[in-house]
Amino acid sequence: MPHRATIVTSVPSRLKRQRGQIEVGPAYLMECLTSWQAAGFHVISLNPEEEAKELERLGLPIEIRALDYAGLPFVGDVVRAAEASSTELCGIVNSDCGLIALPSLIDRLIEKTSDRLLLAERLDIDANTGKPFPPACGGYDGFFFKSHAIDWTTCLTQSHAFRIGDPMWDYWFPCRVIADGHNVGRIALPILTHLDHPRRWDQEKWHQNAKIVRSELNTLPISQNSPQSFKALVSSIVDESPNSVIKIPSIGDYVWSSSACVPVFLYDVGEEAHFLEIMLCRIRDAATQAYLHPAKKGQRLYDQKPKVEVSIRKPTTLLRWLEQTLRNKNRERLARRRRRRMEVSNPWKD
């Protein structure tokens, strides 16, 4: 049966992750890949030739394509591989993120992407407790778009500097799409999970890429279809002096703002799955609030509303917990209705 959706990534041949003091790298990687396939995605991994051979020996259930250069794939090559897949929906996702398999997820993503790029954020999971952890990275780990719905010609000619997973690439990518006059949306809920681990960013590389972002925004042509807010952003950060302060936080704030990326809910109000969306948003917001406003002495971290008491070991565990919560909520609703009917029909009531 042909696939309707493809995710392109770069799966490492060796991944190190811990839950508590236990090394779970290979098992965790398989959990992530399995979650993508359970949702109906075909997975393509772009890797250097030697690493591709190692992956083939592991027998992972993915399609492996060898690159003719070392290191992570360039963004342009990832987009070309996604478009060449000829599936209706294309995705670019960091390989260490699991996918929360919400109902009919591919159908909803196809419906909501339309002619725009959809950005997906992650829900970090604490490696020691298994509970939601505040999304301190402030970036995006997934990008979804319909095949051939976006003209990548201009974008791909200027994408050689960035590789998937590079610092700043998840800000540069949507900005580049907006500059070409295309629409960008942000999935309102986190649909990815990520086992937290120590950050390994290269600060020097971060500054180098930040300069590239500013330089490109300074020189690239901006489409007339680009929103006025984006043109104002470019005007605020562009400076003729190469040694001036790089105003990267303003780029991050803009990419997260609703003026740049309109929040998109995947389900309509009234659908049962919409309740799952709301719960995921509440989990994210509760974790963020608990991070910004630490609990007082003697108060549990998740005592703040909305309460979140769930240990998440796998993406499927989170979904099961949400479904159970939904069933409990429905039971409570039915019980309230029964009580009201009994009160109305009780002839002995004063």
Domain residue ranges in the chain: 5-264
Higher per-residue confidence, 40 vs 322: 40
> What's the mean per-residue pLDDT of the chain?
79
Per the model's pLDDT, the better-predicted residue between 337 and 207 turns out to be: 207
pLDDT in tens, 67-90: 999 999 999 899 999 999 889 999
In this prediction, residue 158 carries a pLDDT of: 61
- Is residue 307 scored above 60 in pLDDT? no
Main-chain dihedrals φ then ψ at residue 165, nearest 5 degrees: 95, -10
Q: Indicate if the pLDDT at residue 209 is higher than 90.
A: no
pLDDT of residue 68: 93
**In whole angstroms, how far apart are CA 194 and each of 28, 124, 276, 291?**
10, 5, 18, 17
Dihedral, CA atoms, 61, 66, 67, 68, nearest 10 degrees? 170
Residue 327's pLDDT band, with cuts at 50, 70 and 90, is low
Residue 112: what pLDDT?
Answer: 93
Mean pLDDT across 95-112: 92
Mean pLDDT of the region 217-241: 79
Confidence of residue 301 (pLDDT cuts 50, 70, 90): very low
Residue 305 has pLDDT above 50, yes or no: no
CATH of the domain spanning 5-264: 3.90.550
Please check the confidence at residue 123 and state whether its pLDDT lies above 80: yes
Q: Report the distance separating Cα 77 and Cα 80, nearest Å.
A: 5
Residue 295 clears pLDDT 80, i.e. is over it: no
Confidence check: pLDDT of 115 > 90:
no
In this prediction the pTM is: 0.81
* Per-residue pLDDT at 81: 93
Distance, in Å, from the CA atom of 95 to the CA atom of 283, rounded to the nearest integer, reads 23
Q: Are 308 and 320 in contact (CB under 8 A)?
A: no
Distances (CA, A) of 142 to 39, 156, 230, 337: 15, 18, 21, 41
pLDDT digits (tens, 9 = 90+) for 145-201: 998 888 887 777 665 678 998 888 898 899 889 988 899 999 998 899 888 887 776
